[in-house]
Chain A
Amino acid sequence: MPETNIVGKSVLRPDAFDKVTGGKGFPVNVRLPGMLHGKLLRSPYPHARILRLDTSKAERLPGVKAVLTPSEAPKNKFHPVFFSPSVAASMVHDMLILSDRVRFAGEPVAAVAAINPQIAEEALELIHVDYERLPAVFDPEEAMKPGAPQIHEHAPNNIAMHPLFAFGDLEKGFEEADSVFENTYETQRVHTCYMEPRVCVVDSDARGNLTVWSSTQHLFGLREKLASALGIPVSKVKVVRPPYIGGGFGGKLDISFLEPISALLSLKTHRPVRIEHTRYEDFITTARHPVKVFLKTGVKKDGTFTARYAKSILDTGAHATHGAVVLMVHGMYGFLLPYRCPNSKWEGFTVYTNNMIGGGFRGYGVPQAAFAVESQIDEICDKLHLDPIEFRLKNSHGEGQQHPFDPGFKLDTYRFADCLKQGAAQIGWSNRRSKGSGNGTKKRGIGLACQPLWVSGCVGFPDIYEHSGAILKLNVDGAVDLSMATIDMGCGQTTVLSQIVAEELGVPLEAVRMTYADTETVPFDAPTHASRVTYSAGNAAKAAAGQAKKRVLEIASSMLKTTSDNLETGNGRVYVKGAPDKGLSIADVVKQAESPYVRMVPDGMQRTSLQEKGTVMGVASLAPASNPSPATAEFVEVEVDTETGEVKVLRVVYAHDIGKVINPAGAEGQVEGGFQQGMGFALMENLVFDQESGACLAGDFLSYKMPTAMEMPPEIKSVFIESHEPSGPFGAKSLSEPCAIVPAPAIANAIYNAIGVRIRELPITPEKILAALGKL
Chain B
Amino acid sequence: MKQIIHLDINGEAQDIAVEPYHTLLQVLRDELGLIGAKKGCDTGGCGCCTVLVNGKAVYSCMVFAMTAQGKTITTVEGLADGATLDPVQQAFIEAGAVQCGYCTCGMIMSAKAYLSSDGSHLPGDLEMRQAIAGNLCRCTGYQKIVDAIRLAASRRMETSAKG
Binding site for B on A (CB under 8 A): 10, 12-13, 15-24, 26, 28-29, 118, 192-197, 244-247, 249, 278-279, 489-492, 665-666, 668-669, 671-677, 700-702, 706, 708-710, 712, 714-716
Contacts and interface: CB of A to CB of B under 8 A. Distances in A.
Contacts of B76: 20-22
Contact of A195 (B80, B85, B103, B143): B103
Contacts of B85: 17, 20-21
B125 A714 contact: yes
Nearest to A652: B141
A697 B93 CA distance: 37
A627 to B, nearest CB: 26
Contact of B133 (A702, A708, A714): A708
B142 interface: yes
Contacts of B140: 669, 672-673, 676
Nearest to B125: A714
B141 A195 contact: no
A701 B101 contact: no
B38 A23 contact: yes
A669 B137 CA distance: 12
B52 interface: no
A716 B136 contact: no
9 shortest interchain CB distances as A-B pairs: A490-B100, A701-B45, A246-B102, A19-B101, A672-B141, A195-B102, A22-B36, A709-B142, A709-B129
B48 interface: yes
Given A195-B137, A672-B140, A13 B43 contact: no
Contacts, number: 180
A555 to B, nearest CB: 34
Contacts of A19: 98, 101, 104-105
A706 B104 contact: no
B77 interface: yes
Nearest to B36: A22
Contacts of B13: none
19 contacts: A20-B89, A22-B34, A22-B76, A195-B48, A195-B137, A245-B100, A279-B41, A279-B43, A490-B101, A668-B96, A668-B144, A669-B99, A672-B140, A674-B141, A676-B138, A677-B138, A701-B41, A709-B145, A709-B146
Contact of B98 (A20, A668, A677): A20
A274 B45 CA distance: 24
Contacts of A490: 99-102, 139
Contacts of A710: 129-130, 133
**B contact face: mostly helix, strand, loop, or mixed:** loop
Nearest to A247: B100
A26 to B, nearest CB: 7
Contact of A673 (B44, B101, B141): B141
Interface in B118-163: 125, 128-130, 132-146
A549 B2 CA distance: 60
Contact of B138 (A15, A18, A249): A249
B138 A702 contact: no
Contact of B102 (A23, A492, A673): A23
B146 to A, nearest CB: 7
Contacts of B105: 19-20, 22-23
Given A23-B102, A195-B100, A247 B142 contact: no
A160 B65 CA distance: 50
A197 B39 contact: yes
A706 B79 CA distance: 30
Contacts of B80: 21
A10 B45 contact: no
B143 A23 contact: no
A195 B128 CA distance: 21
A511 B39 CA distance: 33
A709 B134 CA distance: 9
Most buried by B among A118, A708, A710: A708
Nearest to B99: A490
B35 A709 contact: no
A510 to B, nearest CB: 13
Interface string B46-85: 1010000000000000000000000000001101100001
Nearest to A116: B30
Contacts of B129: 709-710, 712
B42 A676 contact: no
Nearest to B129: A709
A206 B145 CA distance: 48
B44 A672 contact: no
B39 A244 contact: no
Given A196-B38, A196-B40, A701-B46, A20 B138 contact: no
A640 B10 CA distance: 47
A700 B136 CA distance: 12
B52 to A, nearest CB: 15
Contacts of B45: 279, 700-702
Most buried by B among A12, A21, A28, A709: A709
Nearest to B144: A669
